[in-house]
A and B are shown apart, each in its own frame.
Chain A
């Protein structure tokens, strides 16, 4: 039975410390549904389209009104972004949420941070919550760094005196001491992002919800952020973290949840969950044609070894090729087309683009095959993921890791003792017996 209207109620449970809440976050049968707009009817005749013009306001009104109404849950224009999700998180846990795009990760965090109400179920949060869904929310370009720290801090739920106390620390962390009274519009984008993250990183809540915000700044600053998050976890705060970066999940989290199509499918150690997530992603050489932006349609992926099509299992000691067949739909310049090669545990191994062969010139519309040749014996036995990267140089990504190909490399040394390491070039040895002189 669904209520006709969804709202959020904040209650204060006075437990007076006698019954300390056991879990930091309790999520019970949580569901969230959205109306996606129904397909619009097309007019067949001039008369119909004229009638359409006249009745358009009425139809628009119905359409807009429906956006906020909760109808029957089996109606055709409804999708469940989350369904029947139940879990609880103890105080001090750092929990990663893993899942593909559209699995409901961000919806879950949005409900937990009270941005959007759930359609069913409930959440109990024991402790002050702050969310880091996007850094720099509410930054105003005309205001100085100092003014923005106060504005952003209070937006995130701090009081003025809390910001006062943390101010020096925030500014030092962001490394913008010299420019703190300069309007933020004169900052470089790096400075702005650092300052924004610094404010967020100094929140003093017991429960912290984090969505992909660790991917800001340059490598050095990212490392600093990760260390900061490590520190946050160590002092006993509860963190719920959404990330596509499996290394971050494994490094920071003590537990992980796997979401799939809005449902919770697995809970476990980060290692287990990351493995499960990665092996659930597309494997083998089958793929429905998929459009990547407006520029490209990927039709087929194929793996070839010894001149014959191969499946998921390959001999790692021999060279193999990965064939990607795609159509370029409109002329495109500076296309980056390639792979991120990721080990089974989420370690990013290397990245490669076909511009090594094609260059940055314009690709005319039509069918293409891009073939990546990897020599044998580079990678040790194990699972690998070849994530397809498609982008336009210095402009935008069309696809970044949404499509991945799973490979299982066996190898000559499979039955051998133990050869640890992330790469396995066999190389060449020379052993000479030398005489003592």
Chain B
């Protein structure tokens, strides 16, 4: 008798003594109150929303080159054209030292991680501002937004990276055994973009100056990193201490590491990479802390 009565007859029977939609109810409570949070990252929540994270990354990748003629060709055109211009200006006209390898490949090997970094940093910094509509309408873990470009921009990175091998074949350069450490350098590159991206994203919640500062800032950061010039100049000019201080900007270690691993121009700068890694960790942890403090105000301030 218990299952005999139903609300609907026919195929879609809903037995009246069961509440189908409450069967999966978890004994979970959410408490909302105005107190300080202690936890830097709510891992459990990020796990619950991992599918969202996946679809956000997929969206960024799919949408990027929609309705363009060249599509992912842009991932090659941008670094190659930058390389051509820098080679003419700095390699040819200004005769900047390129550690004994052709300037073109010396520059391109640096441009690949650099362009990833500047794209990921800019996108992460503006991620909250650009998703205002979503942030003020539904609750999702805000951390997903700055983290999305860190992963989505890797697609461009790997496409442009493939050209490195074409250039190496052209200039007949063999990679060194240190190329095995490239994944480590890529992680450091992503961590740096994350740390700085979190800081700027959190800042942009309140200060829209970030939006205007980013294009200028990435330019400053590019010339601060050894993209068009050789990292060995730092040691020559500022000595060992100056070299390590410079390495606090982690992209210095990343770019010099890429050159060492692929071109073998300099020995692997492990000291700079280590300093850069510590610095990137500090930026990321403090960035998470700042982000966590700011994210809840977003809906009020946006």
Partner of A237, one of B21, B26, B33, B300: B21
Q: Nearest Cβ distance between residue B287 and chain A, in whole angstroms?
A: 17
CB-based contact B32/A117 at 8 Å: yes
A9 to B48, CA, bound (A): 16
Q: Tell me whether B25 and A206 are in contact (CB under 8 A).
A: yes
Contact of A235 with B21 in the complex, beta carbons under 8 Å: yes
B21 A114 Cβ-Cβ under 8 A: no
> In the bound complex, do residue B137 and residue A115 qualify as a contact, i.e. CB atoms below 8 Å apart?
yes
Q: How would residues 1 to 42 of chain A score, 1 for a CB under 8 Å from any chain B CB and 0 otherwise?
A: 011011111111111110011000000000000100000000
> For A6, A34, A116, A133, which residue has the most chain B Cβ atoms within 10 angstroms?
A116
Does A323 have its Cβ within 8 Å of any Cβ on chain B? Answer: no
Check if A7 sits within 8 Å of B34, measured CB to CB. yes
Question: Do the beta carbons of A113 and B54 come within 8 Å of each other?
Answer: no
With both beta carbons as reference points, the residue of chain B lying nearest to A205 in the complex is identified as B21
**A176 at interface by CB-CB < 8 Å:** no
A94-102, A124-132, A256-264, A268-276 - interface stretch? A124-132
CB <8 Å contact, B137 and A8: no
* Cross-chain contact B20 with A235 (CB below 8 angstroms): yes
Taking a contact as CB atoms closer than 8 A, the residue among A110, A119, A128, A133 that contacts B26 in the complex is A128
> At the interface with chain B, which of A137-145, A294-302, A349-357, A371-379?
A137-145
Residue pair A5, B31 in contact (C-beta under 8 Å): no
Verify if A249 is at the interface (C-beta below 8 Å from B). Answer: no
Chain B residue at minimal CB-CB distance from A134: B137
- Beta-carbon contact of A115 and B27 below 8 Å: no
Tell me, rounded to whole Å, the shortest Cβ–Cβ distance linking B152 to chain A. 13
The A contact surface, by secondary structure, is loop
Q: Do B293 and A124 have beta carbons less than 8 Å apart?
A: no
Contact of A126 among B19, B29, B301 (CB under 8 A): B29
Do B54 and A127 touch (CB < 8 A)?
Answer: no
**A21 CB contact (under 8 Å) in B24, B29, B63:** B29
Given A137-B133, A155-B134, decide whether A9 and B52 contact each other with a Cβ distance below 8 A: no
- Could you tell me how many residues of chain A have their Cβ less than 8 Å away from some Cβ of chain B? 67
Residues of A contacting B48 with CB < 8 Å?
A: 157, 159
Q: How far is the CB of B29 from chain A (nearest CB, A)?
A: 4
Decide: B33 and A9 in contact? CB cutoff 8 A: yes
Give chain B residues whose Cβ lies under 8 Å from the Cβ of A138: 133-134, 138
Select one of B31, B37, B205 contacting A124, CB under 8 A.
B31
B65 to chain A, nearest CB (A): 10
Q: In the complex, are the beta carbons of B62 and A147 less than 8 A apart?
A: yes
Q: Which of A62-70, A82-90, A280-288 contacts B (4 or more CB under 8 A)?
A: A62-70
Q: A114 and B139: CB pair below 8 A? A: yes
Residue A91 CB within 8 A of the other chain: yes
A143 B206 Cβ-Cβ under 8 A: no
Give chain B residues whose Cβ lies under 8 Å from the Cβ of A124. Answer: 29-32
A160 interface residue, CB < 8 Å from B?
Answer: yes
Cβ of B13 under 8 Å from chain A: no
A112 to B49, CA, bound (A): 19
**A68 near B37: Cβ-Cβ < 8 Å:** no
Name the residue of chain A whose CB is nearest to the CB of B20.
Answer: A235
Contacts A5-B293, A131-B138, A154-B52; is A118 near B32 (CB within 8 Å)?
yes
Q: A347 at the A/B interface (Cβ < 8 Å)?
A: no
Report A147-158 CB contacts with B as 1/0, cut-off 8 Å: 100110011111
At the interface, yes or no: A111 with Cβ under 8 Å from chain B? Answer: yes
How close is B23's CB to chain A, nearest CB, in angstroms?
10
Most chain A beta carbons < 10 A, residue from B14, B33, B35, B207: B33
User: Per-residue CB proximity of B100-137 to A under 8 Å, as 1/0?
Assistant: 00000000000000000000000000000000011111
Task: List, in ascending order, chain B residues with CB within 8 A of A7's CB.
Answer: 34-37, 292-293, 296
User: Which A residue sits closest to B292, measured CB to CB?
Assistant: A7
* Residues of chain A lying within 8 A (CB to CB) of residue B56: 151
Chain B residues, Cβ within 8 Å of A125: 29-32
Give Cα A298 to B36, complex, Å: 48
Q: For residue B19, which residues in chain A have a CB less than 8 angstroms away from its CB?
A: 235-236
| Known interface pairs A67-B206, A151-B59, A234-B7; A115-B36 also in contact (CB < 8 Å) | no
Given A68-B206, A112-B32, is A155 in contact with B140 using a C-beta cutoff of 8 Å?
yes
Instruction: Name the contact of A14 in the complex, choosing from B24, B27, B59, B294 (C-beta under 8 A).
Output: B27
The minimal Cβ–Cβ distance linking B209 to chain A, given in whole angstroms, is 9
A140/B134 contact (C-beta < 8 A), A116-B300, A119-B34, A131-B139 known = no
* Interface: A370 (CB within 8 A): no
Tell me, in angstroms, the Cα distance from A114 to B32 when the chains sit together: 7
Are A123 and B33 in contact (CB-based, < 8 A)?
Answer: yes
Query: Shortest distance in angstroms between B261's beta carbon and chain A's nearest beta carbon?
Result: 37
Contact A5 B24 (CB under 8 A): no
Say yes or no: A122-B140 contact (C-beta < 8 A), given A7-B296, A15-B27. no
- A359 and B118 alpha carbons, distance in the complex (Å): 59
Given contacts A122-B32, A140-B63, could you give 8 more A-B pairs where the C-beta distance is less than 8 Å? A110-B299, A115-B135, A122-B34, A128-B26, A142-B63, A151-B55, A154-B49, A154-B54
List 25 interface pairs A-B (beta carbons < 8 Å), by A numbering.
A5-B36, A7-B36, A9-B31, A14-B27, A20-B27, A64-B207, A68-B300, A68-B301, A110-B299, A114-B30, A115-B299, A117-B32, A118-B32, A122-B33, A123-B32, A125-B32, A134-B138, A138-B138, A142-B66, A142-B67, A147-B58, A147-B62, A154-B51, A206-B22, A237-B22
